[in-house]
Structure 1
Amino acid sequence: MPRPLWNGSLSFGLLNIPMSLMPAERNVDLHFRMLDSRNNAPIRYERVNAETGEEVPWKDVARAFEYKKGSYVVLEPEDIQAARSESKEMVEIEAFVDAAALGPEYFEKPYVLVPSKKAEKGYVLLREILARTNRVGIARVVIRSREYLCAVVPREKTLYLLLLRYPQEMVDVSEYNIPDAAPSHYRISEKEMDMAEQLIEAMTAAWKASDYKDEYRVRLKKAIEKRMKSKGVVTPVEREEEPAEEAATNVVDFMSLLQKSLSENRRTPAKSATKSAAKETSTKSAAKSAAKKAARGKAGGATRKTATKRAGHRRR
């Protein structure tokens, strides 16, 4: 089951209904990766400085608005934070409008409103009264720090929250050459109108969503399966990542570090932990080296004593 985007409430007037906002769509697109055709290695996309050609780490990335070509104004994090709405867990209906007044061009994305426990009464009350009056509720909702205009719409036993486009996002249709005169102006006869109506009546059927499938996706999936069966599968060789310049190459027991971090209820900095382990390993290595030198010294002394005794015997 999908996780809720947020748990909050929906309100109109003094009525407050605890709810969860759940996804109403599922992404079924087939996603592709870009490979280098020379060796089938995945292609990475990097944040590169346009002047130096160097990769830019996330900590150095700033947001800016290009107010004219090549001219930017940089925004600080507090500027963006100040623009965000504070009502993150509330859908407050501001008005109820006739359902027919909301054109299809305004609808953008659907979500499902799910009542919390013991909130069923308010949920059913709002759903039924919207359906009876043929109204939809116009509200605002904050999803992932951005505020959207939305409509609360009843559909059978469910309340949907549909994100709406703002008027400034819409193209003024007067910019296009839309035929707006009477049908007679385009020489459309009554007989043609009657025949078109008869054709529509003959093709009219009950809406059944399950009758319609994404045929392109089905054909593409078959092509992928066919290619896999014909040994078209590519398994790139896993390459070991080179250690960072400052990172120690000694093996560190991360499991013990994690257990220690959990027991102390705090995170252990990986860099300092690695340095500590490296220092400990270095100390042990130095001790072993000293021991080996001492052993070689003793062995050398014993060898020299033996050689001296043999020389004495030969002189005698």
Structure 2
Amino acid sequence: MARPIWSGSLSFGLLNIPVSLMSGERRTDISFRMLDSRDKKPIRFERVNAETGEEVPWKDIVKAFEYDKGSYVVIEKEDIASAAPESHESVDVEAFVDAGSIGTRFYEKPYILVPGKKAEKGYVLLRETLKKTGKIGIARVVIRTREYLCAVMPEDDALVLILLRYPQELVDPADYALPTGATSSYRIADKEFQMATQLIESMSADWTPDAYHDEFRQRLSEIIKTRIKAKGGKAKVPDTPAHREDAATNVVDFVALLQKSLQDNTRTPAAAKRPAKKAANRTAKKTATKKAAKKTPAKKAAKKATKASRRKTTETLRKAS
């Protein structure tokens, strides 16, 4: 069973709810080791002095801040500890805001708050009140030694805590060249808006997270299995087509493109991609059958010519005798 990151309390006003902070994500990335290609032995990274090249033991390593090029100030453990907040085991809600008022770019990492023993009443009270009012709590939480801004929100039967990015951590979209101004300045016709709306509606579906999978990880796992079975990693893996630079087209006729999309009824969900393979297989079988049918008359004609030639040869030999 997963262990809590810490056990403490969730507080708002004078109400304190005993909770445990649990991880809300599961890492599934495939990790690699770096090897020496000559003998396939692992490569070890060492801590060495940039001047002398000698290895430095952990006890002699200190943290420092580079305030100018090549100039450092050493920061002691006591300095870091004094900057850390005193409260390490609580989620202190400072305000409640409308659920839709926080931009999606602020959300960073999820956790799950699990109620402690005999704390279910306060937990359910906060969860259901947040659902009813459409609010989420803005709080501060300390994880290990760092303080984070976070949001506390209801999701089904859970209270979810999501770390938030500070505004200073986000790039202002205005820093980039983005299309601004009235839509009329881009010469978008009403028909194009109508067809785009129709296309989006035709492709609309319920959000079903289980329909989406990390396909890159699955394919990479299969490649790894193939390498392992080959003993020595010499098995050949089919090449995938390289991305063409001209694959992206600067489409001018949006109406024609939208019309074709509507006719094809193109859908993006993963579940809709599967039948394409079956259709391709059926097409390939039909093509093979047609080719075979074309070849059959030619074979029959060749056989007839061979038999006729044999009969002529037999008659010639009889006359000669």
Structure 1 position 232, deviation (Å): 2.4
Q: Which residue of 2 aligns with 1:232?
A: 232
Give me the whole-angstrom Cα distance separating, in 2, the residues matched to 1:190 and 1:131.
39
Q: Which residue of 2 aligns with 1:166?
A: 166
Give me the whole-angstrom Cα distance separating, in 1, the residues matched to 2:155 and 2:63.
41
Please list every run of 5 or more consecutive structure 2 residues that lacks an aligned counterpart in the other structure.
Answer: 235-321
User: Secondary structure of the residue that 2:180 maps to in structure 1?
Assistant: coil
- Structure-to-structure mapping, 1:1-316, within 5 angstroms: 1-232=1-232
User: Secondary structure of the residue that 1:109 maps to in structure 2?
Assistant: strand
% identical aligned pairs: 64
Structure 1 position 188, deviation (Å): 1.0
AA paired with 2:82? A
Give the TM-score normalised by the residue count of structure 1.
Answer: 0.73
Give me the whole-angstrom Cα distance separating, in 2, the residues matched to 1:145 and 1:11.
20
AA paired with 1:143? I
Structure number, greater radius of gyration: 1
Give me the whole-angstrom Cα distance separating, in 2, the residues matched to 1:67 and 1:147.
23
What number of residue pairs does the alignment pair up?
234
Structure 1 position 31, deviation (Å): 0.6
Give me the whole-angstrom Cα distance separating, in 2, the residues matched to 1:232 and 1:21.
44
Per-residue CA shift, 1:74-94, capped at 9, x if unaligned?
111111110001110010100
AA paired with 2:13? G
Give me the whole-angstrom Cα distance separating, in 2, the residues matched to 1:182 and 1:125.
46
User: Secondary structure of the residue that 1:3 maps to in structure 2?
Assistant: coil
Give me the whole-angstrom Cα distance separating, in 1, the residues matched to 2:65 and 2:19.
36
Question: After the TM superposition, which parts of structure 1 deviate over 2 Å for at least 4 consecutive aligned residues?
Answer: none
User: Secondary structure of the residue that 2:198 maps to in structure 1?
Assistant: helix
AA paired with 2:216? Y
Per-residue CA shift, 1:90-111, capped at 9, x if unaligned?
1010000011110100000000
Give me the whole-angstrom Cα distance separating, in 2, the residues matched to 1:233 and 1:159.
47
Give me the whole-angstrom Cα distance separating, in 1, the residues matched to 2:21 and 2:102.
22
User: Secondary structure of the residue that 1:161 maps to in structure 2?
Assistant: strand
Give me the whole-angstrom Cα distance separating, in 1, the residues matched to 2:54 and 2:177.
48
Give me the whole-angstrom Cα distance separating, in 2, the residues matched to 1:124 and 1:136.
14
User: Secondary structure of the residue that 1:110 maps to in structure 2?
Assistant: strand
Moved more, 192-201 or 225-234: 225-234
Q: Which residue of 1 aligns with 2:262?
A: none
Structure 1 position 233, deviation (Å): 6.1
AA paired with 2:80? I
Give me the whole-angstrom Cα distance separating, in 2, the residues matched to 1:232 and 1:89.
50
Q: Which residue of 2 aligns with 1:282?
A: none
Give me the whole-angstrom Cα distance separating, in 2, the residues matched to 1:174 and 1:96.
28
Q: Which residue of 1 aligns with 2:245?
A: none
AA paired with 1:211? A
Give me the whole-angstrom Cα distance separating, in 1, the residues matched to 2:162 and 2:149.
9
AA paired with 2:74? V
AA paired with 2:108? E
Give the TM-score normalised by the residue count of structure 2.
Answer: 0.72
Give me the whole-angstrom Cα distance separating, in 2, the residues matched to 1:192 and 1:129.
43
AA paired with 1:27? R
Per-residue CA shift, 1:123-158, capped at 9, x if unaligned?
101111111111110000000111000000111111
AA paired with 1:48? V
Structure 1 position 195, deviation (Å): 0.6
Give me the whole-angstrom Cα distance separating, in 2, the residues matched to 1:155 and 1:95.
19
Per-residue CA shift, 1:166-195, capped at 9, x if unaligned?
111111222111112111111111111111
Please list every run of 5 or more consecutive structure 1 residues that lacks an aligned counterpart in the other structure.
Answer: 235-316
